[in-house]
């Protein structure tokens, strides 16, 4: 039985002139770009929660998405049907990867034990599906934010009992990820923050969070899980403030608690913009620290102050993101996960295909443009020229540690003012536009 | 000769019932609060640049402030008259401290050497004034943002020549601060950032900035300057993005470049809010890291996206800031610097007094309220109760490092769900309001 | 049976020195302020939806509020229990008024007819409760935003069928409001806007909205409902953009469709701030147009970009709001409705009392301060003086229509520059602070 | 003598494959698009203030732009040299139009009379230049915001004397515009607003503003000026709040003061985004009211809260703007004025050419894409289908005024729920992307 009979398997690539809404215009999995296939460059993943479990609710409205797989006699039957739908969907799109939370792939039970059993049951089925299709798990994670028990935090709960609950839950989520050969495991601390400092011991909560992550590292080691651990920054929503507010805050946290070697960052576009940064900025900060591990590829609405999680269709965002990724030699074990949902009014199942096809095309197009910019070097040449003085005698001497304030003061008394050089921002923006074709 | 003949010396404290606009209602320098004088708690400083050199311009309008001390035959004569006005002003307000940039206390010359000479000349006069009045220097700093040479950065300029110029300038600014017994020296990197990533090597620029700060540390050691070095975070303006974007970003930078021991943070309210944080948040982040060194006490307009640098008159901000400061045992060598300016339309000299008197009263009132909250413990009791489980067996065992994901998983299988406890935010806000009287 | 046995009936006023969390410190219903009771000045109302039906969900989390009245064998039984709880709650707080949506006071049925029957059933019971207690209905409204049918708008739906459904629903909501003696009826167009202009005919949608409102006016007339119609502005959320984005946009809409005489505005603090305005601003805009009809008294978080609907505890907001309200002679048939919800973590029933008591006290305190400012005139005197030139010869001549550009040009050639006068913002802020005690 | 010897006259169009930074890739003035030349569609204008008088200052930095024409023995000599540079620049770019403020085209004098004489002198020269080159004036305006006299407003000043000064100044600015055959005259009320409501009579100020605009209308009539009057919305900056905050607020103002027939709106992208709207939104609001008169084509930085006035290089913005403009049949007497400035670090004269060339290409490309979308109808077909029910029996009956709440309620009782229809946002975004090539 097919949940998506109207969509060709696989979705074909028909090129930029096609007007077929259910065909790719740019994404061609096997096409080589700088010697590597598009698929290997982009490592797209579908987000289980939004795509298969998203209800089309918003804070003022009830569900609009009626998915045939989300009905059934029992929660487990629904979970099984969802798994069928998911693998059909991922396969039709030619996607290599998917990502999940424990509580979206398998239902929470009445008790902790039942929740664990549910997860085990579904993971076993997912392992079979993976083996049968070749589809892989990019990353797993635990939902530590929806259940009321986590209202005041999970690892940062004021209640040690809740910390223990979260530990037990994450143990199973890591185990499940390991069992499925997941290449990464993600921590998004949606409730790890505060609503008001009036009732919060910020220092203690961060200590507890670090303790939790060290326990996770220990556990992974104990079971031989070698996937990459990732922290996903977000400044707020649902909490007033989340501790992992942006890339720099996460790096500061990791450094101060001796966790830098065990974690990389999973940067989400819409989270970066909520933090007041461009997508490219937070990618660059993570990359400069050698800690850019994976990406949640979506977009926000720059005039709205919440996480709209829209599918990425802005070509500039895609070009700038791919520039960072290509320049660091790819994402390693990470990938581009579409942590995005169709608008509440886009409630047809086919809208899920439109959404993913457009997003994949946007990033494929972005990859082609970014690679051309790298190959033809119009930006790199400008940067090299702009910083060239650091290759000259003075620059080299400073970098070699041979100068002091005293020596530099003397140098300036002798040499006076520098020659100004335009930054050429307008020209560089024009150049990017000439490549967007 | 007096520049402010209309203002009594010193401005009297007449108590909360006074309607005299030129009297304090709450600030009484010698009044003891928890055994320490208000003056010692608050350590107020006047900002030389805004108060004495601010012109009342904005991005669309020319100067509206006509100060009698800002006219004269030569730049140095003007600087001398300004110094007279400054010490009269600070004295009348009963302030202990002032802060300056090199280029506002002394004029930039035609050449580097002339600028240095100008600075030396004025610093000598300032030293005399300090000795005569007992007024002290809270901190000095260098203006590395106004001159066109710094358009693309100072320590992060793509041009090593500019780096050298900045080094020479800061050498003199630190020396001047040292000579005046300054208790701190501040780095605000207004141009240390980027306008566009298209022309920027973010990693190289941060390396250069770290190199610069290490040179500053070395220089201070070489001359015996033992004042505290401070970094002042700000996310943007004038640049699109500044590297020292918020407290966490600064701490991350300091940690990654081995500068944590040499630097603390100078937190400004309006910079925190531009970064999307409350004033109290960034104070708390710095304090939790043991790195809250000083404060720029002002406020922004939460609906405007630029640094309005308004005088602080919000009692909540003052209470919350003083809570953080009191809880960490004060600011040490730091203080509360009014990095604030009257509105462009408040162009009378007397408006400078209104502005400072109101700000001092707001913080004095805030101090009294914060101390009462600490003494009577309505907030602390709630926090203690809220986190009490961490003193129980499970909590202590986790903190002692005796638990693992496996042991906690087993514990949860046995104990099940925790008992939810309300966070009581509304009650706590009400309690604060009962103290605002 | 009591749902709130822990709370005294009525909640007492114990004065500012009380530390009893379940007593008022400022709100004393019968206390006269400028000859009118506090109750008559403030006309507080409880919001049925948040207070009795709010589940404590957020966009990432499930319900945390477990209310005893929200369980039962059938939706109607739950509705009846809720009604009991509501009247007990309102009575204990000494509130005069409540407000409801059709779908929170009575459950939506399987069919339109069943929904209407449910509403009729509950309204009959509410009428009895009102008669028994003296509690009154400030306003009613219809929920035209939660049901999936309204995903693309109600009156602005692209589907005329949905327009008709909304018309039928509002007919009943107005009838119910009329039956209960409601003093106003509110239109909040949560879905009357767009997600993307790519699929939207903005002009047609606004035409349809105007048509809808004219039909409402006609219907009210036909049944003799003389309550005030109110539009509630909000710029976004749930939609990307709502047509009633702020007070000015609403007034423009009303003027352009000949609806000014039939509608006033219901201004909500958090909606104004989401639109980039202060609460006081949108109140002032509405009031200046003679169209300030009622107020949703809550607050947002100025650093969060969504409608947090927090209880109002900021004394400045309360003072500034009451200044506008007092200066226009009160709200007439309107009132101060607490369109606010406790934080998700404040899940105890008693938190509802804390929240309302604190909000009522904040506005009672704000009323006292605002009245003192009006009586003692420190702000009004400054304003009168500031605009005094408009009472002089030139000003009067301009206002009388006796001047032209030519005559004024000639006048300026003769008189030259004006004498500048400080705006005294800092002094005025200080003055307000001296009244906050 | 040439100020721009390095730039070819005119700048050639070399097509999309060109990598020549000083050639157009898309803008070809005479190329026909839907039967009208690109030049006639786009009606580009250069902004005199930014391009010729902009100093490269920002709020923290002094001038970086050293223009050879901005030096000279007297202000008038400088003004004359600037005029030479301006006409050379406009001519080389093949631009048809320019726009000016009185105080940027001619210097303010010591007295009102001298300012008027200066303006007359330069306007006479400009008239000669126009006649010689065929270059025309799109619009003139008066600078009522830079001089300290306008610190508290011009037409909305609390001082009637200042109102009179503004009247005198605008009389001359309109006269100058008329003399040069200006096709429009713009009012941007940069100081027409408030810093704090504590000292403001909002209603009186708006009355005065309306009086001022009526006097302007009368004056224009008296001299036979038939150009279009335009209001330019902006929400804030320099003021805390400006009365003309967005398109809707301006329309409300015009309607309430009986000025709708005399004014249209000049919509600026960066002003719309500061008001929380997309560029396309405010264009659409103005257009739907039949009041879209002209456009300031620039862009802001969506993460910065001030008016960055960057040159427009975002192709989406250009496409969406051109869709609105094409659908209303063009801008009439208006045009696309580049109210934009190079970044402070782009201080070379050639950067002015890069900036304008890129902006013109962006809008030329946007025009081609928008026209293709209109011709091929992928968006319009979706919209027509989406609203098709309004052409059916029920929709037509509602629009014809034949329905009431009663009749619609009966209809719904009979027909029940509507059939939901997806809004297809993701598909439509994909479609736009397929046209961006």
DSSP C379-421: HHHHHHHHTGGGGSHHHHHHHTT---HHHHHHHHHHH-PPPP-
Inform me whether the C-beta atom of residue D436 falls under 8 Å from chain C C-beta atoms.
Answer: no
Query: Can you tell me the mean pLDDT for D295-316?
Result: 98
CB pairs below 8 Å between A and B: how many? 273
Domain limits, chain C: 32-376, 379-435
When CB atoms are compared, the residue of B197, B390, B406 closest to A281 is B197
Residue among B41, B50, B101, B152 flagged as catalytic: B101
Chain C nearest C-alpha distance from B430 (Å): 5
Tell me the two tokens of residue D36.
Answer: 């009208």
pTM of the shown model:
0.98
Inform me whether the C-beta atom of residue D101 falls under 8 Å from chain C C-beta atoms.
Answer: no
Tell me how crowded residue D161 is: count the other CB atoms within 10 A of its CB.
20
Name every chain D residue with its beta carbon within 8 A of the beta carbon of C408: 163-164, 167-168, 171, 215
Which position has the token pair 């002394």?
B106
Q: What is the pLDDT of residue C1?
A: 77
Mark whether B101 is an active-site residue: yes
Task: Give the whole-angstrom CA distance, residue D206 versus residue A2.
Answer: 64
Tell me how crowded residue C128 is: count the other CB atoms within 10 A of its CB.
12
Q: Which residues of C, range 288-307, sit inside 8 Å of D by Cβ?
A: 288-289
Band (pLDDT 50/70/90 cuts) for residue B181 is very high
Query: Can you tell me the mean pLDDT for B39-66?
Result: 98
Band (pLDDT 50/70/90 cuts) for residue D1 is confident
Q: What is the pLDDT of residue B1?
A: 77
Task: Give the whole-angstrom CA distance, residue C186 versus residue C138.
Answer: 10
Query: Can you tell me the mean pLDDT for D377-398?
Result: 98
Residue D322 CB burial class (10 angstroms; 0-12, 13-18, ≥19): buried
Inform me whether the C-beta atom of residue B16 falls under 8 Å from chain C C-beta atoms.
Answer: yes
Residue C84 CB burial class (10 angstroms; 0-12, 13-18, ≥19): middle
Instruction: Provide the 8-state DSSP code for C192.
Output: S
* Domain with residues B32-376, CATH architecture: Alpha-Beta Barrel (3.20)
Name every chain A residue with its beta carbon within 8 A of the beta carbon of D355: 426
Specify the DSSP element, H or E, that contains A85: helix A75-93
pLDDT per residue rounded down to tens, chain C (437 residues): 799 999 999 999 999 999 999 999 999 999 999 999 999 999 999 999 999 999 999 999 999 999 999 999 999 999 999 999 999 999 999 999 999 999 999 999 999 999 999 999 999 999 999 999 999 999 999 999 999 999 999 999 999 999 999 999 999 999 999 999 999 999 999 999 999 999 999 999 999 999 999 999 999 999 999 999 999 999 999 999 999 999 999 999 999 999 999 999 999 999 999 999 999 999 999 999 999 999 999 999 999 999 999 999 999 999 999 999 999 999 999 999 999 999 999 999 999 999 999 999 999 999 999 999 999 999 999 999 999 999 999 999 999 999 999 999 999 999 999 999 999 999 999 999 999 98
- Which chains, if any, share at least 3 CB pairs under 8 A with chain D? A, B, C
Which position has the token pair 């002198």?
D121
Task: Give the whole-angstrom CA distance, residue C366 versus residue C362.
Answer: 6
Task: Give the whole-angstrom CA distance, residue C279 versus residue D276.
Answer: 16
User: For residue B7, which of B71, B98, B97, B88 has the smallest C-alpha distance?
Assistant: B88
Which residues, other chains included, contact C155 with Cβ-Cβ below 8 Å and sequence gap of 6+?
C144, C163, C166, C189, C192, C208, C209, C211, C212, C213
pLDDT in tens, A233-288: 999 999 999 999 999 999 999 999 999 999 999 999 999 999 999 999 999 999 99
Inform me whether the C-beta atom of residue B342 falls under 8 Å from chain C C-beta atoms.
Answer: yes
| Distance between first and last Cα of chain D | 41
User: For residue A288, which of B157, B248, B246, B252 has the smallest C-alpha distance?
Assistant: B252
Determine, for residues D146 and B60 on separate chains, whether the beta-carbon distance falls below 8 Å. Answer: yes
D105 has pLDDT over 90: yes
Mutual orientation of helices D425-435 and D349-376 as an angle, nearest 10°? Answer: 120
Answer for the pair A29, A320: CB distance below 8 angstroms, yes or no.
Answer: no
Q: Can you list the alpha helix ranges (DSSP code H) found in B247-377?
A: 247-256, 269-274, 279-288, 315-327, 349-376
Answer for the pair D365, D315: CB distance below 8 angstroms, yes or no.
Answer: yes
Inform me whether the C-beta atom of residue B314 falls under 8 Å from chain C C-beta atoms.
Answer: yes
pLDDT along chain A (437 residues), means of 10: 93 97 98 98 98 97 97 98 98 97 98 98 98 98 98 98 98 98 98 98 98 98 98 98 98 98 98 98 98 98 98 98 98 98 98 98 98 98 98 98 98 98 98 96
Inform me whether the C-beta atom of residue C276 falls under 8 Å from chain B C-beta atoms.
Answer: yes
Answer for the pair A156, A109: CB distance below 8 angstroms, yes or no.
Answer: no
Determine, for residues A434 and D16 on separate chains, whether the beta-carbon distance falls below 8 Å. Answer: yes
DSSP annotation string for A361-418: HHHHHHHHHHHHHHHH-HHHHHHHHHTGGGGSHHHHHHHTT---HHHHHHHHHHH-PP
Name every chain A residue with its beta carbon within 8 A of the beta carbon of C238: 58-61, 344
Specify the DSSP element, H or E, that contains C242: strand C241-242
Chain D nearest C-alpha distance from A259 (Å): 31
Strands B193-194, B184-187: pairing kind:
unpaired
pLDDT in tens, C185-212: 999 999 999 999 999 999 999 999 999 9
Answer for the pair A227, A180: CB distance below 8 angstroms, yes or no.
Answer: no
Determine, for residues D275 and C276 on separate chains, whether the beta-carbon distance falls below 8 Å. Answer: yes
**What mean pLDDT value characterizes chain D?**
98
Answer for the pair B336, B265: CB distance below 8 angstroms, yes or no.
Answer: no
Inform me whether the C-beta atom of residue B422 falls under 8 Å from chain C C-beta atoms.
Answer: yes
Mark whether A101 is an active-site residue: yes
Under the phi-then-psi rule, with left for phi > 0, alpha for psi from -120 to 50, and beta for the rest, what region is A243? alpha
Q: Which residues of C, range 376-395, sit inside 8 Å of B by Cβ?
A: 378
Q: What is the pLDDT of residue B126?
A: 98
When CB atoms are compared, the residue of D314, D378, D425 closest to A346 is D425
Q: What is the pLDDT of residue A248?
A: 98
Chain A nearest C-alpha distance from B285 (Å): 8
Residue B398 phi/psi, 5-degree rounding, is: -60, -50
Chain B nearest C-alpha distance from D107 (Å): 14
Name every chain D residue with its beta carbon within 8 A of the beta carbon of A366: none
Task: Give the whole-angstrom CA distance, residue B388 versus residue B365.
Answer: 32
Residue A185 phi/psi, 5-degree rounding, is: -135, 130
CB pairs below 8 Å between A and D: how many? 124
D162 has pLDDT over 90: yes
Tell me the two tokens of residue B40.
Answer: 């010692």
Answer for the pair D3, D346: CB distance below 8 angstroms, yes or no.
Answer: no
Residue among D41, D50, D102, D104 flagged as catalytic: D104
pLDDT in tens, B206-262: 999 999 999 999 999 999 999 999 999 999 999 999 999 999 999 999 999 999 999
Q: What is the pLDDT of residue C58?
A: 96
Percent of chain D with pLDDT over 90: 100
Inform me whether the C-beta atom of residue D146 falls under 8 Å from chain B C-beta atoms.
Answer: yes
Residues in chain C: 437
Inform me whether the C-beta atom of residue A345 falls under 8 Å from chain C C-beta atoms.
Answer: yes
């Amino acid at each position: 039985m097919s949940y998506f009979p109207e969509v060709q398997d696989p979705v074909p690539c028909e090129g930029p002139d096609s007007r077929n809404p259910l065909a790719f215009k740019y994404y061609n999995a096997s096409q080589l770009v700088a010697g590597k296939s598009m698929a290997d460059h982009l490592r797209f993943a579908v987000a289980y929660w939004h795509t298969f479990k998203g209800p089309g609710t918003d804070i003022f409205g009830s569900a609009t998405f009626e998915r045939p797989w989300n009905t059934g006699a029992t929660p487990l039957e629904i979970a099984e049907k969802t798994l069928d739908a998911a693998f059909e969907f991922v396969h039709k799109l030619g996607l290599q990867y998917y990502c999940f939370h424990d509580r979206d792939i398998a239902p929470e039970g009445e008790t902790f034990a039942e929740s664990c059993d549910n997860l085990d049951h579904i993971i076993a089925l997912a392992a079979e599906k993976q083996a049968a299709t070749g589809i892989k798990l990019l990353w797993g994670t635990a939902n530590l934010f929806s259940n009321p028990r986590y209202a005041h935090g999970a690892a940062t709960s004021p209640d040690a009992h809740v910390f223990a609950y979260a530990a037990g839950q994450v143990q199973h989520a890591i185990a499940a990820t390991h069992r499925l050969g997941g290449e990464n495991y993600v921590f998004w601390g949606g409730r790890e923050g505060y609503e008001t400092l009036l009732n919060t011991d910020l220092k203690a909560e961060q200590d507890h969070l670090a303790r939790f992550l060290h326990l996770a590292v220990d556990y992974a080691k104990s079971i031989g899980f070698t996937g990459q651990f990732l922290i996903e920054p977000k400044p707020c929503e649902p909490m007033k403030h989340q501790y992992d507010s942006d890339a720099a805050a996460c790096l500061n946290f990791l450094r101060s608690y001796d966790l830098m070697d065990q974690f990389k960052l999973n940067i989400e576009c819409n989270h970066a913009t909520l933090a007041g940064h461009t997508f490219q900025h937070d990618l660059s900060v993570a990359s400069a620290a050698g800690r850019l591990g994976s990406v949640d590829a979506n977009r926000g609405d720059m005039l709205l102050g919440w996480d709209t999680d829209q599918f990425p269709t802005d070509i500039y965002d895609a070009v700038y993101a791919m520039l960072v990724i290509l320049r660091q030699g790819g994402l390693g074990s990470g990938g581009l996960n579409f942590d995005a949902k169709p608008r509440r009014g886009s409630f047809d199942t086919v809208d899920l295909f439109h959404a993913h096809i457009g997003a994949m095309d946007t990033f494929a197009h972005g990859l082609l443009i970014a690679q051309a910019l790298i190959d033809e070097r119009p930006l790199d040449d400008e940067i090299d020229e702009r910083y060239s003085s650091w290759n000259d005698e003075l620059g080299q001497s400073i970098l070699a540690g041979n100068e002091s304030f005293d020596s530099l003061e003397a140098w300036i008394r002798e040499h006076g003012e520098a020659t100004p050089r335009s930054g050429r921002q307008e020209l560089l923006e024009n150049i990017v536009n000439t490549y967007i074709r």
